Structure 1
Amino acid sequence: MLAIGIDIGGTKIVGGIVDEQGNMIRSVERATEAEKGKAYLLENLERLTEELLAETSADAIGIGSAGRIDVHEGTVYYATPNLPDWTGVRLKQHMVDRFGIPTAVDNDVNAAGIGEMWLGAGKRYSSVVCLTLGTGVAAAVFVNREIVRGHHWSAGEIGHMILYPKGKRCNCGQWGCMEQYCSGTALFKTYNEICGKHAVSSGKQFFALLQSGDGIARQVLDAFTDDLAIAMVSLCNIYDPEVFIIGGGLIETQSYWWDAMLEKIGRYANEAVRRPVVLPARFKNQAGLLGAAKLAFDELTKQ
């Protein structure tokens, strides 16, 4: 059997044809361009799917989408302004109506976690927190290899755990969320705040400054590793995982911050927590696509 796996993020949509062993047959990518609205994003999703189906057939479609997803209905329960007007979209029904193929939908970070648990760094573990650090911050939480979704499909939304009451305003409406301090976006925004000007506009530019020896960039990264370590110690006390798996766009830059993060976790953790096992995601940014394909295969078993 073959499945289409699709990962809808705030920046890009990635899709692929995947077989039951997790081999990628073909993949395509498009810019999300979410600012153009819901209708455009759905059309973009259809065009990507059509491109994948142009040369082969698929038995099912799996989609990982940003937002809090009602997996039973395949609808977007809630989405932040990163995807305008995405709240309430009946994504599963839309794709079934358009392509006539069984479809499953889940949150994009959950899909990435499922990919890592299926074939990646979490394959041998039972209780895992898969943490994604990228444009935003979120996690997929597994207990006894079962994903924890929560009553309102919001389990794992750790990016909106409040680190600093009355801190920076988050686009979710709260103040002081972890996402405003521990994401790739937070790095360059904090740098600009300290400089008092729009000096950098991407994580790539930020790390270029860091590599050049920029003192402000070093200061920002030090605060980032501090906040990340504190958050992870809190997550240890909440979930008590065997292992953390860290993925997302920032894992590509782990040589700059990984060791400092581990050292600070050891410094802040109590005797019960000690230093948890922390692993990089095996599939990095491809985990969401593979996890979405696994969702599709699992959907076929329900038919």
Structure 2
Amino acid sequence: MKVIGVDIGGTKILGGLIDERGNLLEETLVYTKAHLGREKILENLFIAIDKLIDKDVKGIGIGSAGRINFKEGIVEYATDNLPGWTGCNLKQLLEDRYKIPVIADNDVNAAVIGEIWQGAGRGYKDIVMIAIGTGVGGAIVYNGEVIRGGSWSAGEIGHMILYPKGRQCNCGQRGCLEQYVSGTAIARTYSEVSKEKKIAGAEEVFLLAEKGDKMALEIVNDFVNSLSIAILSLKNLLDPEIFIIGGGVIGAKRVWWDKLKKTLENRASITPAQLENKATMVGAAKLIIDYLSKNN
């Protein structure tokens, strides 16, 4: 069986042709150009799928940023990272166009499914995944099943209130985790504190920390402390076997991973994601493979 798995993000759309054993047969990347709105996002999604589709493809799995109605394949809510995406019925649009079954889910839900199938989640049934990139996403797995919630927003770890009356978040709340541990927050904090030096991204802060920059080291320590508070709170609430930590910031784990483990003092088990930027694509493929297996 061959299927297509797609990861729709604010910057890029990553698609893969994948078989039922998880082998990646072909891959493509198309820039989302999300600032141009829904029609441009869909146009580029179609371009990505068209590059991979052939008569042997049996279905399409989608992992998209936003709050996704898993039953109906509708984007219930998306931030301004994907303008106009709220209300988009991905399942219907793609099934009408390609005449094959389609499944759509939140991108981090798909990512944790990918990690369970082919990565760091193998062998575990109770998992919390934290994806730290531009923002902070999450997914919760209990007894082998993804918990999606009554309004499809379970796992929105980035919007846990970490520090009441803290930084303003774009969700309307103050003090959300995302405002302290995301790549955006790390870069912004350094720029604010230094006043003179503008930072392009979190990776630059981590590089400065490696070189002994005191300000960068302090920001990395604050990042670790804030993340550890969130992990321990989630451990007390959900008691997962393992926390899988992924997203773009994991690429700099050489700088902060050991600090995090030491801060946690063995009170929670953590592991880095293994599939890196392919986790959502692989997990989306697994979702449609499972759907086809149950319905054929």
The TM-score with structure 2 as length reference comes to: 0.96
Question: Structure 2: how far apart are the matches of 1:198 and 1:166?
Answer: 27
Q: Show the counterpart of 2:295.
A: 302
Structure 1 contact 103–299 (Cα < 8 Å) conserved: no
Q: Show the counterpart of 1:279.
A: 271
Shift of 1:33: 2.0
SS in 1 for 2:267: coil
Q: How many residues align?
A: 295
- What amino acid maps onto 2:235 in structure 1? C
Alpha-carbon deviations, 1:175-228, whole Å to 9, x = none? 111011111111101111112256112223223322332221111111000000
List 4+ stretches of structure 1 deviating above 6 A: none
Q: Which runs of 5+ in 2 are unaligned?
A: none
1:190 aligns with 2:189: yes
Q: Show the counterpart of 2:10.
A: 10
Q: Show the counterpart of 2:283.
A: 291
1:158 aligns with 2:157: yes
Alpha-carbon deviations, 1:1-40, whole Å to 9, x = none? 0010001112211100000010000001122221111111
SS in 2 for 1:94: helix
Aligned Cα root-mean-square deviation (Å)? 1.4
Alpha-carbon deviations, 1:126-184, whole Å to 9, x = none? 11111111111121111110110100101100100011122111111211110111111
- What amino acid maps onto 2:181 in structure 1? C
Structure 2 contact 203–252 (Cα < 8 Å) conserved: no
- What amino acid maps onto 1:135 in structure 2? T
Question: Structure 2: how far apart are the matches of 1:184 and 1:276?
Answer: 23
The worse-fitting range, judged by mean Cα deviation, of 205-214 and 9-18 is: 205-214
SS in 2 for 1:282: coil
Q: Show the counterpart of 1:20.
A: 20
The worse-fitting range, judged by mean Cα deviation, of 125-134 and 205-214 is: 205-214
Structure 2 contact 206–220 (Cα < 8 Å) conserved: no
Q: Show the counterpart of 2:262.
A: 263
SS in 1 for 2:162: coil
Question: Structure 2: how far apart are the matches of 1:290 and 1:224?
Answer: 29
Q: Show the counterpart of 1:80.
A: 79
Shift of 1:244: 0.8
The worse-fitting range, judged by mean Cα deviation, of 67-76 and 8-17 is: 8-17
The worse-fitting range, judged by mean Cα deviation, of 64-73 and 205-214 is: 205-214
Shift of 1:56: 6.6
Alpha-carbon deviations, 1:280-300, whole Å to 9, x = none? 112122111100000111221
Q: Show the counterpart of 1:126.
A: 125
The TM-score with structure 1 as length reference comes to: 0.94
Q: Show the counterpart of 2:108.
A: 109
Question: Structure 2: how far apart are the matches of 1:198 and 1:52?
Answer: 44
Question: Structure 2: how far apart are the matches of 1:144 and 1:224?
Answer: 30
Alpha-carbon deviations, 1:233-269, whole Å to 9, x = none? 0000111001111111111111111111111122xxx
Shift of 1:117: 1.1
SS in 2 for 1:7: strand
